[in-house]
Amino acid sequence: MYAHRRCETLHASATNTLTKLAVPLALILAILVLVERILALLTSGQDSSLLTLVSRSSNNENLKQVEVELKELYAHPVEHPRRPGTSASRGVSGSDERLNEIEVLLARVDVAQENGEDPLKVELLREKLKLFQLSTAVDTAMLPQLQDLLVTPRHGGYLKEHFHAYGYAVVDTDLPHTLLDQAVNKLSWEYPNFKKGYRVQDAWKDVMEVKRIALHQSLLDVLVSLYGRKPRAFQTLNFAQGTEQPMHQDTIHFQSEPEGWMCAIWIAMEDVTIRNGPLAFYKGSNKLKAFTMTDFQLQPTADDYPKYEESLLKQNYDEMPLELGILRKGQALIWDANLVHGGSRRLDKESTRFSQVTHFFFEGTKYYTPMLSQGKKKTYRDPVWVH
C-alpha cells in the first residue's frame, strides 16, 4: 500500500516538473529555429536582406521606402542582362544583382504585410515587383516601357471597396480554359479576318461559346455583389490582338439614366503580358466627370470623335497612376464605364492577345448614346440583350 502511494507521489512530482519545463523548452526550441534560419540566410549570402528586414520591421514608412527604391531601380536599368537559355557569366552579373535587390524588396513587402500595413498597397507593390523581376530576367530593354506602370492586383475581400474607389477590379473566374479555346477557334472559323486583327462585335449571335462567356454565372454574381442590381449584357467585342486604342471613356458611347449603371468585363482568353498590348487605364479616373462631345464644343459626329480623344487627354489625368491589365488566362478585369482607358503599345507586333469584352447595363435605368446627344436632347437606345 505504502509503495503504491509512493509511486503516485513520484509520478505527480515528475508531471509537475515536466509542466514547468514545457514553456522554457518551447522558447528554447523557438530560439534555436530562429537561429537556424538566420544562419541559413547568412550562409546563403543574403545577410544584407536580413539586416534590412530587422532594421525596417517596425518602420511604418516601409512601403513608401520600398516604392522609392523601386523607382530607383526603374531609373537605372541593367545594360547587359543574362537572358534565359544562355550560359551564365562568371561572378555575379548586373542582372543577377538587380534580381537580388528585387528579392530584398519583396521580403520587405512580406514584413509590411505581417505588420498589418495596407493590404491593397502590399499586394500592388508585390505584383509590381514581380513584373519588374520578370522584365529584368527576360529583357531589360523593356524597362522604359514599364516606368511608372503598375500591374493590376487581385483584391480578395476588398473587391467592392477597391472597385468603387478606383473604378476597376481584377477577379478570378470559373471560366474553363477549354471554353475559352473553343471560342477562339470558332471565332477564327466564323470570321476569317478575326486573326488579322479585326475586332468582332456581337459574335454571341453566331458563336455559342462567346455567349456562354458573356453570361457566365460567376461573372454575373460578381456584378450583383458590386452594384446590388441584376446586370444585363447588351454587347460583346472579341479581339485577337491588342488594340492600341487611344484613351477614352465608355460613357461617350453608352450611358445610363441615372448615371453610374454601366460597366464592362474584359476576359483574358490567353495570358496577357507587357509585350502583347495590355489594357491601360488611369486609376481613380472613374471619379471625374463623364465628358461628352458638347463639353469640348464638338459636334456629336464620327468626324469629331478623334478631337474628343485629344481633348480628353488634356484633362488632369497625369496626376493619377497609369496601370496595366496584366492578367492570367481566365481572369477578368471589370471597369466602371467612366474609367479612362485604352490599349497600350504592342511591343511584339506579331503577338496575339485573345480577349472578350462584354458591356453591361443594369435593371431599373434608361439607356442612351451620349455621342449622338446634345444637351438635354438625348438619343435613347433600346438595347438588344445578350440572350
pLDDT surpassing 60 at residue 327 = yes
pLDDT for the residue numbered 196: 85
Q: Are residues 284 and 260 in the same domain?
A: yes
Question: 182 lies in a domain?
Answer: yes
Q: Are residues 161 and 143 in the same domain?
A: no
pLDDT surpassing 50 at residue 159 = yes
pLDDT for the residue numbered 2: 47
pLDDT surpassing 80 at residue 63 = no
Higher pLDDT, 186 or 108: 186
Higher pLDDT, 43 or 171: 171
Higher pLDDT, 7 or 285: 285
Q: Are residues 247 and 126 in the same domain?
A: no
pLDDT digits (tens, 9 = 90+) for 248-282: 999 999 999 999 999 999 999 999 887 888 898 88
Question: 337 lies in a domain?
Answer: yes
pLDDT for the residue numbered 90: 29
Segment 56-60 shows an average pLDDT of 39
Highest mean pLDDT among 5-19, 193-207, 368-382: 193-207
Domain that holds residue 348: 156-372
Q: Are residues 224 and 302 in the same domain?
A: yes
pLDDT for the residue numbered 340: 93
Instruction: Identify the band that residue 71 occupies on the pLDDT scale cut at 50, 70 and 90.
Output: low
pLDDT for the residue numbered 314: 83
Question: 126 lies in a domain?
Answer: yes
Average pLDDT over the chain reads 77
Q: Are residues 129 and 204 in the same domain?
A: no
Instruction: Identify the band that residue 7 occupies on the pLDDT scale cut at 50, 70 and 90.
Output: low
Q: Are residues 141 and 210 in the same domain?
A: no
Instruction: Identify the band that residue 22 occupies on the pLDDT scale cut at 50, 70 and 90.
Output: low
Instruction: Identify the band that residue 69 occupies on the pLDDT scale cut at 50, 70 and 90.
Output: confident
Instruction: Identify the band that residue 222 occupies on the pLDDT scale cut at 50, 70 and 90.
Output: very high
pLDDT surpassing 80 at residue 79 = no
Q: What angle do CA 164, 284, 224 make, to 5 degrees?
A: 25
Q: Within 10 A of 119 (CB to CB), how many other CB atoms are there?
A: 15
pLDDT for the residue numbered 150: 39
Instruction: Identify the band that residue 132 occupies on the pLDDT scale cut at 50, 70 and 90.
Output: low
Question: 97 lies in a domain?
Answer: yes
Segment 211-215 shows an average pLDDT of 98
Segment 281-298 shows an average pLDDT of 90
Q: Are residues 304 and 345 in the same domain?
A: yes
Counted domains in the chain: 2
Last residue of some domain: 104, 130, 147?
A: 147
Q: Which of 149-153, 299-303, 307-311, 320-324 has the lowest mean pLDDT?
A: 149-153
Highest mean pLDDT among 159-168, 183-192, 319-328: 183-192
CATH number at residue 202: 2.60.120.620
Q: Are residues 143 and 272 in the same domain?
A: no
pLDDT for the residue numbered 60: 47
pLDDT for the residue numbered 23: 53
pLDDT surpassing 70 at residue 32 = no
Higher pLDDT, 276 or 143: 276
Q: Are residues 73 and 222 in the same domain?
A: no
Question: 67 lies in a domain?
Answer: yes
Q: Are residues 62 and 188 in the same domain?
A: no
pLDDT for the residue numbered 215: 98
